[in-house]
């Protein structure tokens, strides 16, 4: 079959984009449009579903099928759609408030069910659309419109939540590193099962620079670590530092002090998420924050496959349903 | 062995209630008696009544579970008001039910369930079976059921605990003897249900036969009763429960529209049985999704509808409250789906196992913004089948979520159902626009004559579009904040629902088209209202009955009809919700008869109400 070759611009809808100038969302949108043509899925077979928030305007800008749904519930809409239309490629676009606060319940349940969809969580650690209240990922002590004396909530890490739900694909990237973001989005799309991608996204209006330590090119090498499957964990401007597993915790070491063989080798395919969870818990400023694919486990059945498999096997076992047979099964009587 | 040698007295109909502890198997007994009576050709109507607690403390009044059934040789519409016979397994069952037994009625008590311990649990001072009123006003039969059951099943080597569980079959056997019922259907049921445990099956059969033999041989029972077959419309019949009929109606609607069915739901009383039924029917292309919560259930339903599947969600009042925001979305997305509310006593958690009709205004207005939805309600258990099909027909015709209001009384009640031939049911025409390759923009909100927009589904080339909860521009569906456009879209969505009135049948009237009093009812109170009006008509009163199936929009002729009667009485199991709608819609001063006691209307109280509002005879 000869599929027409699509260009990124073919995925752009005719709607004006309404994000603030300089918002990190633009970069994510651009990467998505770049990645989609490579996946070989026609536009009409691609669906974007979002919740509510700045990020959730995303579907309006894509020339695919789309639904801008209600706050926090996008995974639930996706569940109904993908269960009945497994032929579609379904993306969920969400944010830190949408996925982790109002939609926390749906977020964990879609992950544990391993529905074959891709979730992109734009994490800007703030409520942008409602103009600047703190979010579930805001840092402790953060001063916002709703926390004038500083936030007293402990922040939630989407990666930790996803790993606790035993999600089969868990990754992180950022708006500022476009090549890396493109790579991660592509891998998420290729994974069979729920893929969660957390994207550090700068909200330059209400939380500017909140993740500058990771996003700024100069600071990035010291404060983040790029994960690669089968490779030792090495970071630093001079690639002079590494991560070592000591007992039940991870520590930063100087490569000059420690043999490379003693560094932790990243294993994204390990079924047991314990070490991946340790990676997810590495936080600035104590530790470099992991970027890339933390977990990519294949072979776990997907919800959509199984719900449809049950229909197929019921039909094999009992034959295509016959209503008149159903109605007259059991005790009936005839009135003449 | 099922022919009696004693006298048999023919009667037109019997109302029996079986009452005992939740663990005594009264629901099973009731269901069996119902099925057997239906198979004997009687018309039947049932009213199961059970506590909200799964295992309320044994022997207490809170733990009493009851099952009422009326079987008759004429057409009946209710499970009956007063009881001809009451079977009680313990004192708690006696004291909580005796007030419904008619004077001179049969009272059968399991004597062995009336010990000092049982009196304490039921909070009675002395043995109520010894009370003078009980002995004088009713025909009391004290039967040592537990002891007799133990003897009957002794040879099957069961533990005493298991052996005692067979006593409901003993009671069943006795009741079957008393009303001339065949043991055969229940024998078949026992074989099917307990076939894997032959000793239990054998013991239950022994208990059943012992109960029958007890009636036949002891001198206490002088005669039994016989209800002849009813004259029902010719056809093949079966007994159905409301939730079962609703589930089957949904499956039938999916077949009639050539669609697979997606059912997204979260467990809640009294709607869960729809899920239990549907999930058995995967071979019909049914996919059931037990969601993490009510909101996920409705959202997944909308997701499935977006994909082009027949999508349904169901719940009861509290769950519907949680679904409200998403129903508003479904409404503005203009996607077809069904939202079922099996109503129960409210507010909040309310009375989960008891019936009520108090979610009508929630169905009408329980969403933010201007968001009218079509609302329709079945009138009886078997009617759930047709209403489910009708709901889906409306949904696809109008591209809108349709609210279907059932209730606990209909859901758990049962009645004979004439099995339809599938070929006789009209097909439901569903169209999805075909894909296209030209450059003309696709207009997802361009409407047809019914104001319905096209149901374009993912996969169709060139029809890519984005739906969402933000207000849409007319025709293009793009986000629009334009003031005039919002007014226009609000009007169009409302008109779309209002226009349904042009296509639904006119309101039917039982009785004359004008007169002294019109009784207007909706939903599960149909049977009681119909019977009450019928009896008043027979007594010569100028009373008619209009039972409203389409609650939004109301039938086009309803206003004129109301005005042709001197008075309009609206009995409802709520505090006057349809009455409020009728008054505001037609400016007709309707009179309410309202109660919320977790119980259906008794025919007698309705007759009394009707009589109160009839003109007094001249000179009186
Ligand atoms: S408020 Fe922040 S997140 Fe929202 S569009 Fe503006 S910059 Fe982006």
Most A CBs within 10 A among B192, B232, B283, hence the mutation to make, goes to: B283
Extract the tokens encoding B284.
């019909």
Query: What residues of chain B lie within 8 A of the CB of A60, using their CB?
Result: 466, 468, 479
Ordered by start, the domain boundaries in chain A are 1-210+301-336, 225-292
Kindly report the three-state secondary structure assignment for every residue of A254-302: ECCCCCHHHCCECCCCCCCCHHHHHHHCCCCCCCCEEEEEEEECCCCCC
Q: Report d(CA B525, CA B167) in Å as an integer.
A: 35
Across the interface, whether the CB atoms of B236 and A81 are under 8 A apart is answered no
Across the interface, whether the CB atoms of B283 and A318 are under 8 A apart is answered yes
* Cα A214 to middle of ligand 1, angstroms: 19
Which residue of A lies nearest to B461 if distances are taken between CA atoms?
Answer: A44
Q: Average pLDDT for residues B588-598, to the nearest whole number? A: 97
Q: Taking the CA atoms of chain B, what radius of gyration do you get in angstroms?
A: 27
Kindly report the three-state secondary structure assignment for every residue of B284-327: HCEEEEECCCHHHHHHHHHHHHHCCCEEEEEECHHHHHHHHHHH
Query: What residues of chain B lie within 8 A of the CB of A335, using their CB?
Result: 41, 229, 231-237
Burial pattern B289-300, b for ≥16 Cβ within 10 A else e, equals: bebbbbbbbbbb
* Cα A138 to middle of ligand 1, angstroms: 15
pLDDT of residue A125: 98
pLDDT at B4 over 90: no
- Per-residue pLDDT tens digits for B349-363: 999 999 999 999 999
pLDDT of residue A3: 59
Looking at the domain that runs over A1-210+301-336, which CATH code has it been given? 3.40.50.970
Reference B454, options B463, B465, B446; nearest CA is B446
* Cα A41 to middle of ligand 1, angstroms: 30
Extract the tokens encoding A326.
């159903």
Question: What is each CA distance from B291 to A75, B342, B432, in whole angstroms?
Answer: 11, 18, 28
DSSP B34-75: HHHHHHTT-EEEEEEE--SSTTPPTTSGGGEEEEEEEEESS-
Q: Out of B23-27, B169-173, B382-386, which region has the weakest mean confidence (pLDDT)?
A: B23-27
Quick one: pLDDT band at residue A2, thresholds 50, 70, 90? low
Mutation choice for ligand 1 from A204, A207, A210, CB with most ligand atoms inside 8 A: A204
Across the interface, whether the CB atoms of B422 and A324 are under 8 A apart is answered yes
**Ligand 1 neighbours by CB, cut-off 6 Å:** A 19-20, 23, 25, 54, 124, 128, 203-206
Q: Report d(CA B414, CA B67) in Å as an integer.
A: 11
* Residue A129, number of CB atoms within 10 A of its CB: 18
Q: State the average pLDDT for chain B.
A: 95
Q: State the average pLDDT for chain A.
A: 96
Across the interface, whether the CB atoms of A332 and B282 are under 8 A apart is answered no
- Per-residue pLDDT tens digits for B416-472: 999 999 999 999 999 999 999 998 999 999 999 999 999 999 999 999 999 999 999
- Per-residue pLDDT tens digits for B528-537: 999 999 999 9
Q: Report d(CA B170, CA B24) in Å as an integer.
A: 12
* Cα A199 to middle of ligand 1, angstroms: 14
Q: Report d(CA A23, CA B381) in Å as an integer.
A: 57
- Per-residue pLDDT tens digits for B98-151: 999 999 999 999 999 999 999 999 999 999 999 999 999 999 999 999 999 999
Q: Is B302 on the interface with A (CB under 8 A)?
A: yes
Three-state secondary-structure class, residue A19:
coil
| Ligand 1 closest atom vs CA A20 | 6
Query: What residues of chain B lie within 8 A of the CB of A89, using their CB?
Result: none
Q: How many residues does chain A have?
A: 336
pLDDT at A275 over 70: yes
Extract the tokens encoding B277.
């039924």
Query: What residues of chain A lie within 8 A of the CB of B258, using their CB?
Result: none
* Cα B343 to middle of ligand 1, angstroms: 43
Three-state secondary-structure class, residue B520:
strand
Across the interface, whether the CB atoms of A317 and B283 are under 8 A apart is answered yes
User: ∠ CA B52-B269-B410 to the nearest 5 degrees?
Assistant: 100
* Cα A200 to middle of ligand 1, angstroms: 13
- Per-residue pLDDT tens digits for A168-178: 999 999 999 99
* Residue B453, number of CB atoms within 10 A of its CB: 23
Query: What residues of chain A lie within 8 A of the CB of B299, using their CB?
Result: 69-70, 73, 76-77, 79-80, 106
> Which residue reads 């959730």 in tokens?
A56
Q: What ipTM did this prediction achieve? A: 0.97
Query: What residues of chain A lie within 8 A of the CB of B382, using their CB?
Result: none
pLDDT of residue B379: 98
Query: What residues of chain A lie within 8 A of the CB of B297, using their CB?
Result: 76
pLDDT of residue A210: 97
Q: Report d(CA B591, CA B606) in Å as an integer.
A: 13
* Cα A128 to middle of ligand 1, angstroms: 5
pLDDT of residue B618: 66
Cis peptide leading into residue B221 (ω within 30°): no
| Ligand 1 closest atom vs CA A53 | 4
- The Cα of B233 is separated from the nearest Cα of chain A by a number of Å equal to 7
DSSP E strands, B111-258: 139-143, 223-227, 235-241
| Ligand 1 closest atom vs CA A19 | 5
Residues 6+ apart with CB under 8 A from A176: A24, A27, A200, A202, A215, A216, A217
Residue nearest ligand 1's atom 1 by CA: A128
Instruction: Assess contact for A263 and A243: CB atoms under 8 A.
Output: yes
pLDDT of residue B159: 87
- Per-residue pLDDT tens digits for B270-318: 999 999 999 999 999 999 999 999 999 999 999 999 999 999 999 999 9
Q: Report d(CA B298, CA B512) in Å as an integer.
A: 43
Q: How many CB pairs under 8 A join A and B?
A: 209
Q: Is B458 on the interface with A (CB under 8 A)?
A: yes
Residues 21-80 of B with CB under 8 A from A: 35, 38-39, 41
Q: Average pLDDT for residues A38-57, to the nearest whole number? A: 97
| Ligand 1 closest atom vs CA A18 | 5
- Per-residue pLDDT tens digits for B58-106: 899 999 999 999 999 999 999 999 999 999 999 999 999 999 999 999 9
Mutation choice for ligand 1 from A17, A23, A60, A134, CB with most ligand atoms inside 8 A: A23
Q: Is B292 on the interface with A (CB under 8 A)?
A: yes
Reference A116, options A42, A167, A41; nearest CA is A167
- Per-residue pLDDT tens digits for A154-206: 999 999 999 999 999 999 999 999 999 999 999 999 999 999 999 999 999 99
Reference B387, options B312, B301, B326, B281; nearest CA is B312
Q: Report d(CA B197, CA B193) in Å as an integer.
A: 9
Query: What residues of chain A lie within 8 A of the CB of B285, using their CB?
Result: 311, 321
Q: Report d(CA B118, CA B126) in Å as an integer.
A: 10
DSSP E strands, B345-393: 375-376
pLDDT of residue A44: 98
Domains of chain B with bracketed CATH: 7-227 (3.40.920.10), 238-424 (3.40.50.970), 515-612 (3.40.50.920)
- The Cα of B262 is separated from the nearest Cα of chain A by a number of Å equal to 7
Percent of chain B scoring above 70 in pLDDT: 99
Most A CBs within 10 A among B468, B477, B479, hence the mutation to make, goes to: B468
pLDDT at A22 over 60: yes
pLDDT of residue B592: 98
- Per-residue pLDDT tens digits for B175-200: 999 999 999 999 999 999 998 999 99
Residues 6+ apart with CB under 8 A from B92: B21, B59, B60, B61, B63, B64, B118, B121, B122
């Amino acid at each position: 079959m000869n599929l027409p070759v699509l260009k990124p611009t073919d995925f752009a809808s005719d709607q004006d984009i309404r994000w603030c100038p300089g918002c990190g969302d633009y970069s994510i949108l651009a990467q998505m449009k770049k990645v989609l043509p490579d996946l070989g899925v026609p536009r009409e077979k691609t669906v974007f579903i979002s919740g509510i928030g700045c990020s959730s305007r995303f579907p309006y800008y894509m020339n695919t099928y789309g639904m801008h749904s209600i706050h926090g519930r996008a995974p639930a809409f996706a569940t109904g759609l993908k269960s009945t239309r497994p032929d579609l490629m379904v993306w969920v676009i969400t944010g830190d408030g949408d996925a982790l606060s109002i939609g926390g319940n749906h977020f964990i349940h879609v992950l544990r069910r391993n529905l074959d969809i891709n979730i992109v969580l734009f994490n800007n650690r703030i409520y942008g659309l409602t103009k600047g209240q703190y979010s579930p990922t805001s840092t402790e002590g953060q001063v916002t419109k709703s926390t004038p004396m500083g936030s007293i909530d402990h922040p939630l890490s989407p990666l930790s939540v996803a790993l606790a739900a035993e999600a089969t694909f868990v990754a992180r990237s950022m708006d500022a590193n476009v090549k890396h973001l493109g790579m991660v989005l592509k891998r998420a799309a290729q994974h069979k099962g729920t893929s969660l991608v957390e994207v550090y996204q700068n909200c330059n209006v209400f939380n500017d620079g909140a993740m500058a330590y990771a996003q700024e090119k100069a600071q990035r090498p010291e404060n983040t670590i790029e994960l690669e499957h089968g490779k030792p964990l090495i970071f630093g401007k001079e690639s002079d530092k590494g991560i070592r597993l000591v007992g039940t915790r991870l520590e930063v070491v100087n490569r000059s002090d420690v043999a490379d063989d003693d560094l932790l080798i990243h294993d994204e395919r390990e079924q047991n998420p314990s070490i991946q969870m340790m990676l997810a818990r590495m936080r600035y400023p104590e530790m470099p924050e992991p970027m890339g694919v933390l977990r990519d486990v294949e072979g776990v059945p997907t919800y959509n496959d199984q719900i449809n498999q049950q229909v197929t096997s019921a039909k094999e076992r009992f034959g295509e349903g016959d209503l008149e047979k159903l109605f007259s099964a059991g005790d009936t009587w005839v009135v003449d | 062995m099922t022919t009696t040698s004693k006298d048999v007295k023919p009667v037109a109909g019997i109302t029996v209630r079986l009452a005992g502890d939740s663990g005594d198997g009264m629901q099973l007994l009731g269901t069996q008696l119902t099925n057997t009576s239906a198979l004997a050709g009687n018309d039947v109507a049932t009213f199961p009544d059970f506590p909200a607690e799964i295992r309320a403390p044994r022997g207490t009044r809170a733990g009493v579970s009851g099952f009422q059934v009326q079987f008759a040789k004429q057409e009946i519409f209710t499970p009956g008001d007063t009881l001809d016979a009451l079977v009680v397994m313990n004192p708690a069952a006696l004291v909580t039910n005796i007030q419904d037994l008619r004077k001179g009625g049969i009272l059968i008590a399991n004597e062995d369930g009336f010990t000092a311990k049982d009196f304490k649990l039921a909070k009675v001072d002395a043995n109520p079976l010894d009370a003078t009123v009980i002995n004088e006003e009713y025909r009391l039969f004290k039967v040592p059921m537990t002891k007799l059951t133990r003897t009957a099943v002794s040879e099957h080597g069961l533990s005493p605990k298991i052996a005692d569980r067979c006593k409901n079959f003993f009671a069943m056997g006795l009741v079957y003897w008393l009303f001339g019922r065949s043991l055969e259907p229940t024998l078949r049921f026992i074989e099917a249900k307990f076939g894997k445990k032959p000793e239990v099956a054998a013991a239950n059969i022994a208990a059943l036969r012992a109960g029958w033999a007890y009636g036949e041989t002891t001198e206490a029972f002088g005669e039994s009763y016989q209800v002849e077959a009813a004259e029902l419309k010719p056809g093949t019949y079966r007994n159905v429960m409301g939730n079962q009929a609703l589930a089957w109606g949904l499956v039938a609607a999916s077949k009639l529209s050539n669609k697979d069915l997606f059912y997204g739901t979260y467990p809640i009383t009294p709607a869960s049985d729809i899920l239990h039924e549907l999930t058995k029917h995967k071979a019909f292309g049914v996919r059931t999704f037990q969601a993490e919560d009510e909101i996920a259930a409705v959202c997944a339903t909308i997701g499935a509808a977006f994909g082009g599947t027949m999508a349904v969600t169901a719940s009861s009042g509290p769950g519907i409250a949680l679904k409200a925001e998403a129903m508003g979305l479904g409404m503005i997305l203009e996607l077809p789906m069904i939202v079922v509310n099996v109503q129960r006593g409210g507010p909040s958690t309310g009375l989960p196992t008891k019936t009520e009709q108090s979610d009508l205004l929630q169905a009408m207005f329980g969403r933010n913004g201007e968001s009218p939805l079509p609302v329709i309600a079945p009138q009886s258990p078997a009617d759930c089948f047709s209403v489910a099909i009708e709901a889906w027909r409306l949904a696809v015709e109008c591209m809108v979520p349709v609210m279907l209001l059932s209730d606990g009384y209909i859901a758990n009640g049962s009645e004979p159902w004439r099995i339809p031939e599938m070929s006789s049911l009209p097909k439901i025409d569903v169209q999805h626009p075909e894909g296209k390759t030209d450059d003309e923009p696709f207009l997802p909100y361009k409407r047809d004559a019914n104001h319905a927009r096209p149901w374009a589904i993912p996969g169709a080339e060139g029809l890519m579009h984005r739906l969402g909860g933000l207000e849409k521009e007319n025709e293009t569906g793009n986000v629009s904040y334009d003031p005039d456009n919002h007014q226009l879209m609000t009007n169009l969505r409302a008109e779309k629902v209002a226009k349904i009135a042009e296509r639904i049948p006119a309101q039917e009237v039982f009785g004359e088209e004008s007169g002294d009093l019109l009784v207007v009812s909706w939903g599960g109170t149909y049977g009681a209202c119909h019977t009450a009006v019928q009896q008043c008509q027979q007594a010569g009163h100028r009373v008619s009955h209009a039972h409203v199936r389409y609650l939004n929009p109301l039938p086009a002729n309803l206003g004129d009809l109301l005005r042709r009667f001197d008075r309009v009485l609206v009995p409802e199991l709520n505090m006057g919700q349809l009455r409020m709608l009728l008054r505001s819609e037609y400016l007709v001063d309707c009179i309410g008869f309202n109660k919320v006691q977790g119980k259906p209307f008794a025919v007698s109280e309705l007759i009394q109400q009707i009589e109160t509002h009839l003109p007094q005879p001249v000179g009186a």
